């Protein structure tokens, strides 16, 4: 199994669920994480990543960390200073149309969105609300492009797009697609030589459907044009994702693996969860399992069954633990506070 991993956590792309998988694998195998200094939850995002952002990194000692997976703005030469040269690099993308609809609800306080009532209103005349010089502009335009380290307001000519795609392919071993999450997990398992239980998950950091909206076709076209760079990245890697599956796994085996993954997830849901799945924040009984609520989104969570034996309770709890709580727990484990 591969244990040295860089995961570029692209915003609003099922990346919290992937992060939970990496947290569980790292904890089970006693691996070290490249945590933000001081135990924060982002690696000084939205600045480009620097090795000095990592707790315990020193340019004088060549300490390397196994897993780098917190939010960052990618900059490979700096990333290479904190992980072994053998590290596997991967990321996950989401269709930019749904991504921006999600961003709009989640980052409603961002300067570009704060004065509009709807995404339609914003896209009708984006430059009226969007300021390329504002520090939070990336939430409103080409967020994928930004997270990969490029300029979200850059030129979208075919030549420049090709350079950007080549740069991503040179840095990343593979890119997953959140719309095909189960297939992505099978590919992840394959690429990392992990077992099935290492990639099972319950969806985390997902929104209540009452805050989701379907966009009319003219708005979708405007959105694609406005996020042209993201659209180019997504369509390219959506295509290469299936090429990779055909080459390395094959559709028939993929179907079998996906079925096995879903059966295992259903079995764990029956074992671990009260009811059939996620619940609204107000209905989460254990406050330590309540996810952070952000912007206009209502983030769902889970209730565990009562009376599970200790080992099983621990396994189930890790599966549903929100990102911030899990990150804090692992940080304290890796950097124990000095005893009084």
Express each pLDDT in 43-92 by its tens digit: 999 999 999 999 999 999 878 999 999 999 999 999 999 999 999 999 99
In 3D space, the residue among 73, 90, 86, 87 whose CA is nearest the CA of residue 36 turns out to be 73
Q: Does the N-terminal peptide bond of residue 145 adopt cis geometry, omega within 30 degrees of 0? A: no
**Is 31 a member of any domain?**
yes
How many whole angstroms separate alpha carbon 290 and alpha carbon 271?
20
Q: At what angle do helices 251-272 and 310-320 cross, to 10 degrees?
A: 120
**Residue 340 located in a structural domain:** no
Residue 221 lies in a domain: yes
Is a pLDDT exceeding 80 seen at residue 276? no
pLDDT at 331 (0 to 100): 97
pLDDT at 287: 92
Closest CA to 94 of 179, 219, 183, 213: 179
DSSP letter for 225, please.
H
- The encoded tokens of residue 338 equal 């000095």
Structure tokens at 91: 């990321």
Check whether 104 has a pLDDT greater than 90.
Answer: yes
For residue 208, give the nearest of 118, 117, 296 by alpha carbon.
296
Q: Which strands make up the sheet holding 88-93, listed edge to edge?
A: 67-68, 5-8, 88-93, 174-177
Residue 188 Cα distances to 102, 176, 273, angstroms = 25, 8, 25
Query: Are the CB atoms for 299 and 281 separated by under 8 Å?
Result: yes
pLDDT digits 0-9 by tens, 163-216: 999 999 999 999 999 999 999 999 999 999 999 999 999 999 888 877 778 889
Q: Tell whether 277 is covered by a domain.
A: yes
Question: For residue 124, is it within any domain?
Answer: yes
Predicted confidence at residue 196, as pLDDT, reads 97
In a domain, 305, yes or no: yes
Closest CA to 57 of 35, 73, 42: 35
Write out the residue range of the structural domain in which residue 174 sits: 5-334
Q: pTM for the whole thing?
A: 0.96
If you ran DSSP here, which 8-state letter would residue 54 be given? Answer: B
159 lies in a domain? yes
pLDDT on residue 214: 86
- The pLDDT value recorded for residue 96 is 97
**Token pair for 305:** 């069954």
Number of domains in the chain: 1
Tell me whether residue 339 is in a domain: no
CATH number at residue 34: 3.40.50
User: Would you say 207 and 105 are in contact if contact means Cβ atoms under 8 Å apart?
Assistant: yes
């Amino acid at each position: 199994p591969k244990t040295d991993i860089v995961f570029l956590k692209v915003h609003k792309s099922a990346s919290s669920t992937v992060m939970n998988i990496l947290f569980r694998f790292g904890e089970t195998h006693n691996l070290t994480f490249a945590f933000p200094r001081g135990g924060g939850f982002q690696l000084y995002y939205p600045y480009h990543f620097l090795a000095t952002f990592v707790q315990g990194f020193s340019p004088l000692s060549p300490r390397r960390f196994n897993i780098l997976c917190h939010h960052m703005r990618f900059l490979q030469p700096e990333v290479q200073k904190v992980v072994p040269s053998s590290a596997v690099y991967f990321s996950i993308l989401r269709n930019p149309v749904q991504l921006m609809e999600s961003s709009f609800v989640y980052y409603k306080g961002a300067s570009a969105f704060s004065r509009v009532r709807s995404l339609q209103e914003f896209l009708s005349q984006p430059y009226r609300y969007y300021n390329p010089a504002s520090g939070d502009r990336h939430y409103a335009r080409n967020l994928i492009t930004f997270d990969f380290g490029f300029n979200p307001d850059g030129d979208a000519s075919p030549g420049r797009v090709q350079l950007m795609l080549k740069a991503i392919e040179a840095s990343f071993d593979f890119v997953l697609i959140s719309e095909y999450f189960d297939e992505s997990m099978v590919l992840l398992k394959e690429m990392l030589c992990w077992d099935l239980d290492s990639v099972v998950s319950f969806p985390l950091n997902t929104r209540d459907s009452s805050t989701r909206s379907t966009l009319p076709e003219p708005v979708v076209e405007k959105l694609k044009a406005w996020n042209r760079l993201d659209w180019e990245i997504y369509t390219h890697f959506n295509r290469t994702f299936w090429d990779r599956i055909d080459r390395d796994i094959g559709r028939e085996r993929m179907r079998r693996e996906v079925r096995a993954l879903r059966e295992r997830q259903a079995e764990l849901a029956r074992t671990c969860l009260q009811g059939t799945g996620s619940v609204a924040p107000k209905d989460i009984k254990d406050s330590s399992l309540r996810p952070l609520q952000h912007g206009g989104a209502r983030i769902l969570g889970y209730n565990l069954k009562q009376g599970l034996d200790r080992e099983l309770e621990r396994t189930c709890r890790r599966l549903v633990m929100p990102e911030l709580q899990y990150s804090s727990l692992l940080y304290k484990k890796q950097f124990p506070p000095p005893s009084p």
